[in-house]
C-alpha cells in the first residue's frame, strides 16, 4: 500500500479484503454503540491501519450529527472512504445483517413460546436487568453530555415534558436543538460538537489524500437523494397495495411510523425507544406494556445496533394484526419492512452528506444544536427508565390528569418483590462491579429461572 493519492472511484484496498474485514466486524458488534465503535477502531485503525485515528474520529463526529445509529453510520462512512459507494453499502449491510437474522429468529421463538412457564420465568429475570441497563445509560450519557448548568436544565425539561405533559418526542428533539443553539449564543463554548478524547493512533498505511473522495456537486446530491428516497419508500408503497387487497393495514402503519422515527432518532436507540414504546403500546396497540422491555432484552443479546428492537415490535404487532394473511407470513414481512425503512435512511444520510463532511464539521451552529439534543437525550432515556419500571416492577398503574399534566403512576400495592430484588442485583453488579449488559442479562435470566423453580414466579 502506498501513500499516493488515489483516483476517484478506485478501491483503496481490494473490495474482497474489505468485505472479509466487515464480516468479521459484524460478528463482534455486541455491547451497544461504544463497543461497536471500539471494534471498528481496533480492526480498522489499530490492526489493519487502513485509516488514521484523526480521520476515524472526524467520521464519527459527522455521524453523531445524524439521526440514526451512529455506529452503523460510521461503518457506512468508513466503508465509503475505503471503497466508495460499493464499500459503504457492503459495510453498512453487513453491520446489521447478523443481528437482523438473530432477532428475527428470537422474535419467532417469543411469539411461539413466550407464554410458556419457562420463557415467562426467563423474562421475569431479564426485564429487571434491562431497567438497570437503561439506568446505566442515563448515568453514562449524562456524565458525558451535562457539562454545563444550562444543559442540565434542558435535560430536566425534556424529562418533565415527556413524563408529566405527554409532549411528543419529535417536538422535544426539535425544541432541544433550538434551545441548544440559543443557549450557545450566551455561552460560546457550547458551540463545539462533542469530540471523543484521544487524537493519537498508529500511523495509517493509507494517507488521508489517498482515501475515496467525491466532489459535492448538485447533480451527485440530487441523484443520491432521488435513488435513496425511491428505495426508502417504494416498499411502503408496495405494502400499501398489498394492504388494500388483504386488509392488513399494519404494514402501512408500521412503514410510515418507523420511517418517521428514522429521522428523529438523535441520541441513540435508548432515546427513540421511549417514543416507540409509547406509540407501539398506547396508540397502535402492537405490544402489551411489559413486552417492550422483553424486546429490548432480546436485542441486547444480538450483534448490531440496538435500534434493531423495532424489528421485534413489527414482528409481534403484525402477528397480532395480520388481516387476511397468515400471521407468521405477516410477521416476517412486517419485520423485513421495518428493518428496511429504519436502516435505508442511514445509507442515504451518509452517502449524501459525506462529500460535505468538512463543511458540516466546521458548522458551529449545528454543533450547538447537537449539544442541546444530546442533553435532552438524558431526560428522554430517564423517561424510558421510568416507563420500564412502571410496567415491570408493578402489576398495575393508573393515569393521573390535571390540566396539562398527564402522568402514569403505579398502584403501590401491586409491587413485585421478586422484580425489585432482581433489579437491585442488576444495579449492584453493573454499578458496583462493572459488569457488562450481556453478562448482567445472563445472571438475571438465571435468577428468574431460579425463582420459577422454587415457586416464586410462574
Contact 377, 271 (CB under 8 A): yes
Query: Residue 3's pLDDT band (boundaries 50, 70, 90)?
Result: very low
Task: Read off φ and ψ for residue 339, nearest 5 degrees.
Answer: -60, -40
Task: Read off φ and ψ for residue 119, nearest 5 degrees.
Answer: -65, -40
What string of DSSP letters covers 293-343? HHHHHHHHTSSS-GGGHHHHHHHHHHHHS-TTS-HHHHHHHHHHHHHHHHH
The residue-averaged pLDDT of 181-209 equals 69
Contact 369, 193 (CB under 8 A): no
d(CA 36, CA 42): 10
State pLDDT tens for residues 235-268.
Answer: 999 999 988 887 788 999 999 999 998 887 766 6
Task: Read off φ and ψ for residue 410, nearest 5 degrees.
Answer: -80, 150
State pLDDT tens for residues 38-72.
Answer: 788 888 888 888 988 777 877 876 787 788 888 89
d(CA 49, CA 35): 19
**Dihedral angle of Cα 165, 167, 172, 175, to the nearest 10 degrees:** -80
Task: Answer whether residue 32 shows pLDDT above 70.
Answer: no
Q: Which residues, including other chains, have CB under 8 Å from residue 245's CB and lie 6 or more apart?
A: none
Task: Read off φ and ψ for residue 271, nearest 5 degrees.
Answer: -65, -50
Residue 1 is predicted with a pLDDT of 42
State pLDDT tens for residues 400-446.
Answer: 888 888 888 899 899 999 999 999 999 999 999 998 887 898 899 89
The DSSP H or E segment spanning 402 is strand 397-402
Q: Is the pTM of this model over 0.85?
A: no
Q: From the CB of residue 48, how many other CB atoms can be counted at a distance below 10 Å? A: 17
Query: Residue 358's pLDDT band (boundaries 50, 70, 90)?
Result: low
Amino acid at each position: 500500500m502506498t501513500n499516493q493519492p488515489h483516483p476517484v472511484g478506485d478501491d483503496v484496498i481490494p473490495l474482497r479484503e474489505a468485505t472479509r474485514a466487515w464480516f468479521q466486524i459484524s460478528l463482534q458488534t455486541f455491547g451497544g454503540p461504544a463497543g461497536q465503535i471500539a471494534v471498528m477502531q481496533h480492526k480498522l485503525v489499530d490492526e489493519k491501519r487502513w485509516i488514521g485515528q484523526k480521520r476515524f474520529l472526524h467520521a464519527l463526529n459527522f455521524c453523531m450529527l445524524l439521526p440514526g445509529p451512529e455506529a452503523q453510520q460510521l461503518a457506512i462512512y468508513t466503508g465509503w472512504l475505503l471503497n466508495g459507494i460499493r464499500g459503504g453499502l457492503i459495510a453498512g449491510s453487513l453491520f446489521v445483517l447478523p443481528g437482523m437474522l438473530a432477532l428475527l429468529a428470537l422474535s419467532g421463538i417469543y411469539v411461539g413460546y413466550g407464554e410458556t412457564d419457562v420463557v415467562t420465568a426467563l423474562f421475569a429475570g431479564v426485564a429487571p436487568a434491562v431497567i438497570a441497563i437503561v439506568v446505566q445509560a442515563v448515568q453514562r450519557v449524562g456524565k458525558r453530555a451535562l457539562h454545563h448548568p444550562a444543559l442540565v436544565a434542558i435535560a430536566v425539561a425534556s424529562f418533565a415534558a415527556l413524563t408529566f405533559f405527554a409532549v411528543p418526542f419529535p417536538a422535544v428533539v426539535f425544541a432541544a436543538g433550538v434551545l441548544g443553539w440559543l443557549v450557545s449564543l450566551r455561552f460560546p463554548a457550547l458551540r463545539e460538537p462533542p469530540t471523543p478524547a484521544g487524537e493519537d493512533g498508529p500511523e495509517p498505511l493509507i494517507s488521508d489524500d489517498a482515501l475515496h473522495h467525491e466532489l459535492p456537486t448538485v447533480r451527485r446530491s440530487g441523484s443520491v437523494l432521488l435513488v435513496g428516497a425511491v428505495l426508502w419508500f417504494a416498499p411502503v408503497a408496495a405494502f400499501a397495495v398489498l394492504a388494500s387487497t388483504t386488509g392488513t393495514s399494519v404494514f402501512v402503519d408500521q412503514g410510515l411510523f418507523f420511517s418517521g422515527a428514522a429521522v428523529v432518532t438523535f441520541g441513540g436507540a435508548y432515546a427513540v425507544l421511549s417514543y416507540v414504546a409509547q406509540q407501539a403500546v398506547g396508540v397502535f396497540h402492537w405490544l402489551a406494556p411489559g413486552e417492550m422491555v422483553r424486546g429490548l432484552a432480546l436485542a441486547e443479546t444480538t450483534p448490531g445496533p440496538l435500534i434493531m428492537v423495532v424489528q421485534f415490535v413489527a414482528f409481534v404487532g403484525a402477528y397480532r394484526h395480520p388481516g387476511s394473511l397468515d400471521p407468521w407470513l405477516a410477521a416476517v414481512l412486517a419485520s423485513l419492512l421495518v428493518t428496511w425503512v429504519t436502516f435505508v435512511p442511514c445509507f442515504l444520510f451518509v452517502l449524501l452528506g459525506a462529500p460535505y463532511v468538512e463543511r458540516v464539521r466546521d458548522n458551529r451552529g449545528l454543533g450547538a444544536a447537537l449539544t442541546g439534543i444530546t442533553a435532552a437525550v438524558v431526560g428522554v432515556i430517564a423517561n424510558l427508565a421510568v416507563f420500564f419500571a412502571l410496567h415491570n416492577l408493578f402489576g398495575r398503574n393508573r393515569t393521573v390528569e390535571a390540566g396539562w399534566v398527564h402522568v402514569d403512576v403505579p398502584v403501590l400495592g401491586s409491587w413485585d418483590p421478586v422484580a425489585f430484588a432482581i433489579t437491585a442485583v442488576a444495579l449492584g453488579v453493573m454499578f458496583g462491579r462493572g459488569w457488562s449488559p450481556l453478562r448482567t442479562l445472563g445472571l438475571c435470566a438465571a435468577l428468574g429461572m431460579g425463582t420459577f423453580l422454587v415457586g416464586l414466579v410462574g
